[in-house]
Amino acid sequence: MSKLFSRFTNKKEKDLRVLRDFIHIYCREKHKDRTKLTFSSSDASVQKAMGDKKIALCPNCSKLLNHGMVKLLMCPYDPKPMCKKCTTHCYAPGYRESIKEVMRFSGIYLIKHGRLDMILHYFL
Ligand SMILES: [Zn+2]
């Protein structure tokens, strides 16, 4: 595997894990009373990027995560810009609002719980 290719892959996989963890926190805190299933994707590259970590999500959050992961894998920009600064609005309407709320909620959650290290780890 070439250096360039692995770097490209690592960046996307890292972004996918951020998405996964943020949606996981959101669902765990906001959807406590919903029935949850272990997330799995029919898309092989999404499944690979998920790694070994198993997370339980409600059906809505599963859909959102799947949508976000597919969009991220299809992102034509390299390096990928921060989504909020990007002019291509690739998320479908409805999903875009949901993911914004998830990122805001989980970002604040991590700061409140003293997990600033996690945020720095994600975004640097
Ligand atoms: Zn949920």
Task: Please return the burial class of 76, using the count of CB atoms within 10 Å of its CB with bins 0-12, 13-18 and 19+.
Answer: exposed
Using the mean position of ligand 1's atoms as its centre, give its distance from the Cα of residue 58 in Å.
4
pLDDT at residue 124 in the model: 55
pLDDT 10s digits, 8-67: 567 777 888 889 999 999 999 999 999 999 998 877 877 877 777 789 999 999 999 999
**Does 5 reside within a domain?**
no
Is pLDDT at 2 greater than 50 in this prediction?
no
Angstrom distance (rounded) from CA 39 to CA 36: 9
Q: Which residue segment(s) compose the domain that 43 sits in? A: 14-123
Q: Is residue 70 part of a domain?
A: yes
Tell how far the Cα of 78 is from the centroid of ligand 1, in angstroms: 30
Number of domains in the chain: 1
Averaged pLDDT of the chain: 83
Residue 6 in this model has a pLDDT that exceeds 70: no
Distance 68 CA to ligand 1 centre (A): 14
Question: Which residues fall inside 5 Å of ion ligand 1, going by CB?
Answer: 27, 31, 58, 61
Give a yes or no: residue 22 inside a domain. yes
Under 8 Å CB-to-CB from 8, ≥6 apart: which residues? 78
Q: Which residues of 91-108 are buried (b: 16+ CB within 10 A; e: fewer)?
A: beeeeeebbeebbeebbe
Mean pLDDT of 62-87: 83
Measured in Å, residue 4 CA sits from the centre of ligand 1 at 36
Domain presence at residue 1: no
